[in-house]
């Protein structure tokens, strides 16, 4: 078997799910801000688009996807970011963003007998970037985060840069809610050109913002840039597994060659639902307002109790510093303390050592649940 499997950490969300289910089986009522799994309904027009496309006769979907879906995605990039993409050259649909980012390793990483290869992953990040690198036999380089929660590019020595094949970014960021400025993207792509590596930007949270829409890596350039996005957060479509890959023409050409062999084609009835979702912004605006309302509740109670919220400019996460008055002051202990009071949060340590001083709150439960949680926080903090 693949010996890299032994080096993988347990899949965190599986572990968290099991722990929660065990507590709930004991009859404990939990207000769950732990997992970033949107709970609001998928808009009816999207479900209707799926049902309308569910014909008696059907056929194998292609991994290249329906032209009208690629067109809808390119259109969205144009309207949202002012980026012009050719739907036949720069865009592919994906079977959800996890599939897309996991499988990027298969295409971009080589036979390890042909030389050393490394993948740069922020020290606090979604587990799958590193898991994919390890399972495809590449070295994982954890990148320290600077005070703005951005990977510190100065930490990349010439030695590491020489074997770097791929660098992962994720802004707006999970778990910190930090946003990367265009100047940072310019710096990264310049470095990628100088040292011949690709930059993959997971932009799953790009639409969940509060004050101003965050930029995309593709606004800085298409060459060496690969963006992965998804309808999971934007349109509450986690159940549908529908995302996109866009960017560098050569990488996309390689993916168009490799992906038909991989079984990653999305059912066409889902592609039609996805098309409807990318073509509409009204439901996204409405969803942003829902998160803003919940966020305001928490921001207020946390400020009143003198807890510090770091970053958290976008995404549906709040990145809350463990207060000094909590014994031990580790994120695990604070999370455990909150759990005993009925509130599930994610200990920052779950995502890496750098997260030890913070817990992550995912503002996904309905407003009423948020209000109850805020009342609890008001009384116990």
Smallest distance, its own copies to C-beta of residue 17, A: 8
Gap between the Cα atoms of 152 and 142, Å rounded: 10
- CB of 13 vs its own copies, minimal distance in Å: 8
DSSP label of 219:
G
Q: Which is nearer to its own copies, 26 or 55 (CB)?
A: 55
Per DSSP, helices labelled H in the chain are 12-25, 44-52, 67-81, 97-108, 127-135, 158-163, 182-195, 231-234, 249-258, 268-278, 282-304, 331-340, 367-380
* Angle made by CA atoms 139, 141, 142, in degrees to the nearest 5: 140
Q: How far is CA 279 from CA 18, 51, 219, in A?
A: 37, 17, 20
In the complex, the smallest distance separating the C-beta of residue 254 from its own copies, rounded to whole angstroms, is 6
CB-nearer residue toward its own copies: 178 or 265: 265
Residue with tokens 């926080």: 377
In the bound state with its own copies, the residue whose beta carbon lies nearer, of 42 and 206, is 42
CB of 21 to its own copies, least distance (A): 12
CA end-to-end span of the chain, whole Å?
A: 49
48 vs 183 by CB, closer to its own copies: 48
- Min. distance of Cβ 181 from its own copies in angstroms? 29
> Residue 113 or residue 194: which is nearer to its own copies going by CB?
113
Give SS3 for 27. Answer: coil
Which C-beta is closer to its own copies: that of 137 or that of 372? Answer: 137
Query: Residue 342 CB, nearest distance to its own copies (Å)?
Result: 21
Q: Which is nearer to its own copies, 5 or 289 (CB)?
A: 5
Cα separation, 126 vs 141, whole angstroms: 14
Bond prior to 175 in cis (omega within 30° of 0): yes
Smallest separation, CB 228 to its own copies (Å)? 11
Distance of CA 359 to the CA centre of its chain: 17
The residue among 103 and 173 lying less far from its own copies, judged by its C-beta, is: 103
Q: Are 344 and 33 in contact (CB under 8 A)?
A: yes
* Strands 358-362 and 317-321, bridge-based pairing: antiparallel
Taking the least distance from each CB to its own copies, the nearer of 256 and 329 is 256
Please report, for residues 100, 142, 171, 345, the alpha-carbon distance to residue 150 in angstroms, rounded to integers and kept in the order given: 23, 12, 9, 23
| Smallest separation (angstroms) from its own copies to the CB of 36 | 10
CA distance 323 to 321: 6
CB 319, CB 358: distance < 8 Å:
yes
Instruction: Pick the closer one to its own copies by CB: 254 or 296.
Output: 254
The minimum distance between CB 273 and its own copies, in angstroms, equals: 10
Compute the distance between CA of residue 256 and CA of residue 114 in angstroms, rounded to an integer.
24
CB 185 within 8 A of CB 219: yes
Question: How do beta strands 243-247 and 309-310 pair?
Answer: unpaired
Minimum CB separation of residue 361 from its own copies in Å reads: 18
């Amino acid at each position: 078997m693949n010996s890299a499997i032994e080096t993988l950490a347990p899949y965190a969300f599986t572990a968290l799910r099991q722990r929660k289910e065990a507590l709930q089986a004991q009859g404990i009522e939990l207000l769950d801000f732990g997992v970033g799994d949107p709970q609001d309904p998928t808009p009816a027009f999207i479900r209707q688009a799926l049902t309308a496309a569910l014909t008696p006769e059907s056929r194998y979907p292609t991994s290249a996807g329906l032209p009208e879906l690629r067109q809808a995605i390119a259109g969205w990039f144009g309207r949202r970011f002012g980026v012009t993409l050719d739907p036949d050259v720069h865009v592919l649909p994906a079977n959800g963003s996890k599939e897309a980012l996991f499988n990027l390793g298969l295409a971009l990483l080589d036979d390890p007998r042909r030389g050393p290869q490394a993948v740069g992953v922020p020290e606090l990040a979604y587990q799958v970037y590193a898991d994919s690198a390890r399972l495809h036999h590449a070295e994982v380089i954890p990148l320290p985060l600077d005070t703005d929660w951005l990977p510190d590019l100065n930490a990349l020595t010439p030695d590491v840069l020489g074997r770097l094949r791929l660098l992962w970014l994720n802004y707006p960021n999970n778990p910190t809610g930090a946003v990367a400025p265009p100047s940072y993207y310019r710096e990264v792509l310049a470095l990628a050109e100088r040292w011949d590596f690709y930059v993959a930007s997971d932009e799953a949270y790009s639409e969940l913002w509060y004050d101003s829409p965050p930029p995309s890596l593709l606004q800085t350039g298409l060459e060496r840039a690969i963006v992965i996005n998804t309808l999971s957060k934007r349109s509450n479509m986690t159940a549908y597994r529908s995302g996109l890959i866009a960017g560098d023409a050569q990488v996309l050409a390689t993916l168009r060659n490799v992906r038909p062999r991989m079984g990653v084609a999305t059912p066409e009835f889902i592609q039609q639902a996805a098309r409807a979702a990318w073509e509409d912004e009204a439901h996204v605006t409405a969803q942003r307002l829902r998160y803003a309302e919940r966020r305001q509740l928490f921001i207020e109670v946390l400020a009143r109790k003198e807890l510090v919220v770091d970053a958290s400019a976008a995404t549906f996460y709040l990145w809350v510093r463990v207060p000094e008055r909590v014994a031990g002051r580790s994120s695990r202990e604070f999370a455990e303390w909150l759990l005993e009071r009925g509130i599930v949060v994610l200990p920052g340590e779950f995502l890496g050592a750098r997260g030890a001083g913070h817990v992550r709150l995912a503002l996904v439960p309905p407003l009423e649940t948020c209000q109850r949680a805020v009342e609890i926080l008001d009384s116990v903090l």
